[in-house]
Amino acid sequence: MIGFWAGAGLTLQSALRSKAMKLAFIGPIYGGVGPVDVPKDAPPMFNVIAADDFLFRGQFGVVKSSFDAGRSVEFHLLQNGGHGFGLGYPGSTASGWFPAFMCWLGVSGFLAGKANALAALARRASRSGYEVRSRTFCKAAGAQQSRSCSSDHLRHHPSLMRLQAA
């Protein structure tokens, strides 16, 4: 389960408090990072936030809480991106978190087949100065469009991933 901002809090609390919900992993993206009580059976966590996000305030509590509970945690503190960076802004370090997330999913065994190949491709792309972009055919516009992925864009259009020089 992955969530952004308020959804990050919901994701984190669902994993930490729900008795019925057994999540494979959690990905709170630019959510609160204060300390929390982490149960011994909490799922692995991928966490990312920008240093210039108003929610960060120099806190690493959620990461330390997970580490102290003996749970797997991957944490990325981005130099910039502010709050609400989605899948990233061109020209900011926030553009690199999604390939890192895909890599983490693959290395952690959460991807199989083609999805794992996409994760490997995203890793290679980010190391080579490329970024993952979406290509969609927008029926309303009647033309093919190519632009950086954003959560809003991916919600409203079916997408195929491709690589384009950054």
Domains of the chain listed by start with CATH number: 2-128 (3.40.50.1820)
- What percent of the chain is modeled with pLDDT above 90? 52
Taking alpha carbons only, the member of 11, 6, 93, 113 closest to residue 55 is: 6
Per residue in 2-56, pLDDT tens? 999 999 999 999 999 998 999 999 999 999 889 999 999 999 999 999 999 999 9
* DSSP string computed for 68-100: HTT--EEEEEESS--S--TT--TTSGGGGHHHH
pTM attached to this predicted model = 0.68
Query: Which amino acid is residue 68, in one-letter code?
Result: D
More confident residue, 119 or 76: 76
More confident residue, 141 or 15: 15
Per the rule left: phi > 0, alpha: psi between -120 and 50, beta: everything else, 48 is beta
Task: Give φ, ψ of 113 to 5 degrees.
Answer: 60, -130
Per-residue pLDDT averaged across 69-97, rounded?
A: 91
Helix (H, G, I), strand (E, B) or coil at 50: strand
Q: What is the pLDDT of residue 129?
A: 55
**For residues 87 and 95, what is the distance between their CA atoms, to the nearest angstrom?**
6
Over the Cα atoms of the chain, what is R_g? 16
